[in-house]
Structure 1
């Protein structure tokens, strides 16, 4: 039940935060903008997320997951509801910025909830399932919002994520209570549910290194998602629909990879050793993708699919490692920092790769991405969930 509520809240938040690009034509036409101007507005929720996410982490640790998620979802629904009252691009931009600022803590708060409810032996799988809410939410938005916008326009389509966020509030309030701590012989809480009151986990290097690994592996992940379709079209002469089908085909095995690595880490008690191995394999695969298709064009699609799948598999384990290293008293802040740094990596990667493409061509994106995967191998600490 806790896992289902966490996923429902996360899906509602994702559709609200990242649904605007799927209704970009209607946004452009509704307010008389160019495509470039509408695209800038579509990026404002992510910018709002960056502005407030670290503060939300403090709120999570101070007031708990249930209250923070409920407040965030209610504010998100209210912000999107304001779209009906504003006129012109500036007003819409302000509302979208506000929606992003309000919607930031659901990912971190639901991750902290997983840490509280699930024991170490099952937490990797649980976090992997919870992390699948992001591609699920994006897929749902891609499926529903364009058709809704065709029928009801931009405003009507954006009311759907507003309703989803509002509908999630009572679910969170009723069903996401923190677990009751188990009492030891002295009457004090014990076990995974016990509140860990200790100094800052940022005094050591382990947590910083996990954050760094996530940022480093975010580069090949975003680079592949951004340029895979263009690579097949421009370098191998594919049509855009067929190239898009190749990219879509990687989503399911990518999600399954997160679950399998979660199960593996639960059995071994080590979260980051599989991430280190995954980074090494990703580095080798990206180098092959850079070099092999020039001589053997038929290798492009299987190598691209393999790299796409590998790039998606690390997220659940790194989030689990962050939560466990931080402990319950710091998990909200630490997961917020994790989300914030990943957002920075997501924002900067297309800019970096645009420079790479200009200077060395599109296939060089894969070689540069391999360098980041190699750096992740060196940066990954060895963390044990049962130590």
Structure 2
């Protein structure tokens, strides 16, 4: 009984380390711009490069997860992530840093899918929403830790000093993964699986593609707020980067609780996507209000930014669980890797395109466009999952 909760906590810790590496660059953007003398759009491009590495490699990682198991995959991923983060100290200029950030994303991607598959094996369907909600709470917790530490480190010691946060986390979690990241005895994930034993592909049905599509659409508002909230507070409201980081860190705590609550809600409702529909619609309203907030009411804009951050981060656990349950355990590793790959399209392109939009029309335009993607997700959402 207690072992499954230990495995869940380990999956959370491993994902915090991985997410800090993948998305922590956003919390060092002001220092990154100053260090390299680049525009906000160029800095946003650098912030999206780990997601590009993620996108290029995740489907291959999914096969590794299903064939060789979660512990092997997570161990290799965390080891390579720490190695590539260490290489940042040896490169100069934005081009060199960008190349290494692509490698960081390529190495760090499978922890999310492998940890999710591990938790799926330890918890029954009636508790899975809760368990996956706890595990997906790693994202706001990881972002909160990064937001609390990385802006101050970047401001005082430079960009590489900030990236020591995910490096240290990866090294700290690695031995725990080696010791404890094992599936339950009855789970099929411990041994390699031959191609002949794998059931027919769930990708012959439309339902799983629609869930992937919803997740991609909701990734746009999520990564718009994640990437540019700190810069918005600094440039449009005159906040210090460290103070803005602390605010975004504080938002992550209710964000983690919201994912947990959404998981429990989905268990009791018997549907994963019903709650997602409500969350997406609420996020659209919040982002529209943020885009329309007048400069004369800066306090209202800050509150709406925090609410928007909370809502746009709350759907991940539910869509992730919906994809895995639709695919079935034999395909769960690949399905969750595909989910992460398609989300990586959003997390790669959103910082680049929204950065260009912000440079052209300002932050309100970007928040308004992000709201439209929430609406599109509500329209695209299947009703049976």
TM range (shorter): 0.7 to 0.9
Equivalent residue number for residue 34 of structure 1:
37
User: Which structure: larger Rg?
Assistant: 1
Cα distance in structure 1, aligned partners of 2:229 and 2:344? 20
289 and 167 in structure 1: CA distance in 2 versus 1, 3 angstrom threshold: closer
**1:98 counterpart residue number:** 103
Q: Where do 1:98-177 residues align within 5 Å?
A: 98-145=103-150, 158=163, 161-177=166-182
* Alignment match, 2:12: 7
Distance 1:292 1:200, change over 3 A: same
Q: Which has the higher contact order (CA 8 A, sep 6+)?
A: 2
Distance (whole Å) between structure 1 residues aligned to residue 221 and residue 44 of structure 2: 23
Q: Which secondary structure does the structure 2 equivalent of 1:363 belong to?
A: helix
Measured against aligned partners, the alpha-carbon deviations of 1:77-102 in whole angstroms (never above 9, x if no partner) come to 23334456x45446655444333221
- Does the aligned pair in 1 maintain the 2:145–2:249 contact within 8 Å? no
Q: Which moved more, 1:112-121 or 1:97-106?
A: 97-106
Please say if 1:334 is aligned against 2:358.
no
* Secondary structure class of the residue paired with 2:329: coil
The 3 A distance-change label for structure 1 pair 93 and 354 is: closer
Retained in 2: the 8 A contact 1:9–1:168?
yes
Aligned to 1:54: 59
Bigger helix share: 2
Partners of 1:366 and 1:24 lie apart in 2 by 19
What is the distance in 1 between the residues matched to 2:159 and 2:299? 42
What is the TM-score of this pair, normalised by structure 1?
A: 0.80
Match runs of 1:277-296 below 5 Å: 277-291=278-292, 293=294
275-284 vs 56-65, greater mean Cα deviation? 275-284
Q: Please point out which of 21, 31, 34 is paired with 1:16.
A: 21
CA RMSD of aligned residues (A): 3.6
Q: What is the TM-score normalised by the length of structure 2? A: 0.80
> What is the count of residue pairs matched by the alignment?
367
Provide the secondary structure at the position in 1 that maps to 2:103.
helix
Which ranges of structure 1 fall in alignment gaps of 5 or more residues?
184-195
1:239 aligns with 2:244: no
Question: 3-state SS of the aligned residue for 1:270?
Answer: coil
1:108: how far off? 0.9
Pair 246,120 (structure 1): closer, same or farther in 2 beyond 3 Å: same
Matched, 1:275 2:291: no
Would the alpha carbon gap of residues 290 and 118 (structure 1) be closer, same or farther in structure 2, given more than 3 Å must change? same
Matches within 5 A, 1:200-211: 200-211=201-212
Distance 1:285 1:79, change over 3 A: closer
Aligned partners of 2:144 and 2:250 also within 8 Å: no
Report Cα offsets for 1:92-150 as digits up to 9, x if no partner.
55444333221111011111111111111111121121112122223323434456667
Contact 1:220 1:311 in 2 (8 A): yes
2:78 maps to 1:73: yes
- Distance 1:285-1:161 versus aligned 2 partners, 3 A rule: closer
- Gapped regions of structure 2 (runs ≥ 5): 1-5, 189-196
Residues 1:179 and 2:180 are matched in the alignment? no
Deviates more, 1:70-79 or 1:111-120: 70-79
Partner of 2:264: 263
- Distance verdict in 2 for CA 1:225–1:49, change over 3 Å: closer
SS of the aligned residue for 1:335 comes to helix
